Amino acid sequence: MDTTRSSGHEKPSSSREEAPLVEPKKTAEPGRRGGYGGRWCHVLLATFLLSFTLLYLLSRVGWSPSQAWPQAQGDGAVADKDNKGYEDASSSPIGTRKDKLLGGLLSPNFDEQSCVSRYQSALYHKASPLLPSSYLAVRLRKYEALHKKCGPNTPLYKKSVEHLKSNHKVENLECNYIVWTPYNGLGNRMLTIASAFLYALLTNRVLLIQVTDEAVDLFCEPFPGTSWVLPLDFPIKDMGSNHRNSPVTYGNMIKNKRINLSVNSSAELVPSYVYIYLVDDYKHFDGLFFCEDEQLFLNKVNWLVLQSDIYLIPSFFLWTTYKDELQQLFPAKDTVFHHLGRYLFHPTNSVWALITRYYESYLAQAEERIGLQIRTFNWPHISFEEFYKQIISCSLQEFLLPNITNDEQFYLSRSSNVGRPKAVLVVSLYGRYYEQIKSMYYDHPTTTGEIISVFQPTHAEQQHTEKRGHNQKALAEIYLLSFVDVLVTSPFSTFGYVSQGLGGLTPWILLPSWHEKAADPPCRRALSMEPCFLNPFYFNCRAKKDIDPGSLVRYIRHCEDKVQAVKLID
């Protein structure tokens, strides 16, 4: 993650000058001096004036050839560099232009060259009708102002740090914080950063993230004129360890009666900071974080430190306190990560160079791009042959890829009318799936006459989250997957969840396989592009009994790949 701060820049002028009026041409009188020659002089003069005016106007709005961005293949849209991006969907015809500010989601107050991906990624993603609400845009601008006021090294931040050092000092502080700490792989980290940010937005906190060595130079700063990176001199030093059994977690503090959950508790009994442990193995007392009444206590705590590896956002939609606010922020509830992900996660220039180089070299010329995100776990046990069969069965059954034939004459007879080229992007730790799919289409013609090209950027064989280069390539592959037209993902994979959310894609999800056999049916179309909350809290805090969170409201349903998990739908 990039620790360099970006400075603001002046917004381009949107003013226009009126074109000079041209005098209507007159019919020349025969034999009069000037005659038809004079008329042509008027025409040439008018043409010159109009051309000059047009060139002047184009230069005013910044569409000169030297400034134009390259267009994404197959889209034909032009980057509108003068668009401020604060319109609702009704005022912005999708497909006719590319709004670099994504409908007001992004702030224009950045130096574009310091983070090219921030405004250029819109040229590579598919045109989407999923513009953010105008209310979300307004709230993001307000948050940015708060972050600039309370961010690292500001007087208010220093005051809060002093309060943290003094522990139980009683004081009303203007700025409250949630500190995100890294845990597990890159997909998990991106989902939990988005969760922490929405929590900060709802509870009027400032989000700071701990950037460790393996995450340097991944993401640009998302907030103008400030930083979201937690300073190295932050007084809590043990945030990198697993706090499941630590006495300082919120759950253990409740269990051991070290804190009083009464909303009338005196300030002396409120700690200056609390760990929130929500890794996938969290226990009952940790899960009390999801209880709305307990949030009243947490609102008093100046510093919250979050450790998690799961997407928490669906649980926020069960809190009645924020129901109206969330409705205004996200009228379409299945777009939460889509908007927050595009707002927060902008690859640094070095990673963006990896992404665009690969895309232009291998994927840009295809008329359709199919992404296959293949992730295998130690469970359930299934052989390579069975899982490969499931992947191909899904792709053929859903008409995502064409079938093959052994009839070479059939192909040769159609060679004069070859179908459109398709590119298959395989993203997996392993190379065998890519080799098998590539051989399938190299050794056999397709029944449709389509030309299928198969690509795989990397195959590391093992996950190395502790290595910076590995994470940079993983982020590049997440973004490449988000650029495809059609996506197939593996069950339980946070890597796939992030890709589909960034791309605004509703994927086909490969269903879990049991008893060492490929699932039948092999896949299912997702209900929405939202990630799954893989370990929801099955407890009703007020009724004091277990309850199914997927049965409480119509817009939270069970996931396709894990029946115990839940996700947002619209």
Model confidence pLDDT, tens digit, residues 486-527:
999 999 999 999 999 999 999 999 999 877 788 889 999 999
Q: At residue 351, does pLDDT exceed 50?
A: yes
pLDDT above 60 (res 121): yes
> Would 471 be classed as within a structural domain?
yes
pLDDT tens readout for residues 25-62: 333 333 333 333 444 344 444 444 444 443 333 333 33
Whether 408 and 470 share a structural domain: yes
| Better pLDDT: 63 or 198 | 198
Residue 569's region, left for phi above 0, alpha for psi from -120 to 50, else beta, is: beta
pLDDT at 98: 67
Which pLDDT band holds residue 376 (cuts at 50, 70, 90)? confident
- CA neighbor of 426 nearest in space, from 468, 357, 488: 488
Q: What tens digit of pLDDT does each residue of 258-299 get?
A: 876 654 555 557 888 899 999 999 999 999 999 998 898 899
Among the ranges given (127-136, 302-311, 362-371), the one the predictor scored with the smallest mean pLDDT: 127-136
At 103-120, the pLDDT tens digits run 999 999 999 999 999 999
User: What pTM, to 2 d.p., does this model score?
Assistant: 0.81
Backbone angles phi, psi at 181, to 5 degrees: -120, 145
User: pLDDT over 90 for what percent of the chain?
Assistant: 58
Please indicate, yes or no, if residue 17 is contained in any of the structural domains.
no
Bridge partner list, 273: 303
pLDDT tops 60 at residue 531: yes
| Number of neighbours of residue 171 by Cβ within 10 angstroms | 12
Please name every residue paired with 275 in a beta bridge, in sequence order, or none if there are none.
249, 305
**Residue 130 neighbours by CB distance under 10 Å:** 16
CB count within 10 Å of CB 312 equals 23
Query: Most confidently modeled of 78-82, 164-168, 360-364?
Result: 360-364
Give the domain-ending residue among 344, 379, 412: 344
The answer to whether residues 323 and 376 belong to one domain is no
In this prediction, residue 466 carries a pLDDT of: 75
Residue 125 counted as domain residue: no
Q: Looking at the predicted structure, is the pLDDT value of residue 2 above 60?
A: no
Q: What is the pLDDT of residue 188?
A: 96
pLDDT exceeds cutoff 90 at 209: yes
| Same domain for 526 and 475 | yes
Per-residue confidence (pLDDT) for residue 514, from 0 to 100: 79
Pair (321, 368) in one structural domain: no
| pLDDT single digits (tens) 451-475 | 999 999 988 777 777 788 889 999 9
State yes or no: pLDDT of 243 exceeds 80.
no
Whether 173 maps to a domain, the answer reads yes
Which amino acid is located at 54 in the chain? L
Q: What is the mean pLDDT of the chain?
A: 81
pLDDT of 22 reads: 30
pLDDT over 70, % of the chain: 77
63 has pLDDT over 50: no
Q: 279 is in which domain, residue-wise?
A: 134-344
| Final residue belonging to a domain, choices 344, 361, 393 | 344
Q: Are residues 176 and 311 in the same domain?
A: yes
Phi, psi of 103, rounded to the nearest 5 degrees? 70, 25
The yes-or-no verdict on residue 6 having pLDDT over 70 is: no
pLDDT of residue 244: 77
pLDDT band at 85 (very low <50, low <70, confident <90, very high): very low
User: Is residue 371 domain-shared with residue 502, that is, in the same domain?
Assistant: yes
Count the domains in the chain. 2
The pLDDT score that the predictor gives to residue 336 is 98
Higher pLDDT, 483 or 458: 483
The pLDDT score that the predictor gives to residue 213 is 87
Classify residue 28: in a domain, yes or no: no
Residue 21: pLDDT above 80? no
Give residue 516's pLDDT: 79
User: Would you state the pLDDT for residue 170?
Assistant: 56
Q: C-alpha 266: how far from its chain's center?
A: 41
Model confidence band, residue 353 (pLDDT cutoffs 50, 70, 90):
very high
- Cα separation, 163 vs 157, in Å, equals 10
* Short-list 85, 82, 92, CA closest to 57: 82
Q: Where is pLDDT greater, at 380 or 162?
A: 162
Q: Are residues 419 and 324 in the same domain?
A: no
Q: Does a structural domain hold residue 119? A: no
- On the question of pLDDT at 331 being above 90, the answer is yes
User: Given this model, what pLDDT does residue 490 score?
Assistant: 95
Q: Are residues 508 and 551 in the same domain?
A: yes
463 within a domain of the structure (yes/no) = yes
Residue 511 lies in a domain: yes
* Backbone phi, psi, residue 510, to 5°: -65, 130
Our CA angle for 287, 288, 293, nearest 5°, is 150
289 and 390 share one domain: no
Domain boundary among 344, 361, 380: 344
By mean pLDDT, which of 93-97, 301-305, 351-355 is the weakest? 93-97
Q: What is the 3-state secondary structure (H, E, C) of 326-369?
A: HHHHCCCHHHHHHHHHHHHCCECHHHHHHHHHHHHHHHCCCCEE
* Secondary structure (3-state) at 21: coil
* Pair (538, 471) in one structural domain: yes
Judge if 296 and 425 occupy the same domain.
no
pLDDT > 80? residue 161: yes
Mean pLDDT of 360-388: 90
Residues 310 and 244 in one domain: yes
Which CATH number covers residue 516?
Answer: 3.40.50.11350
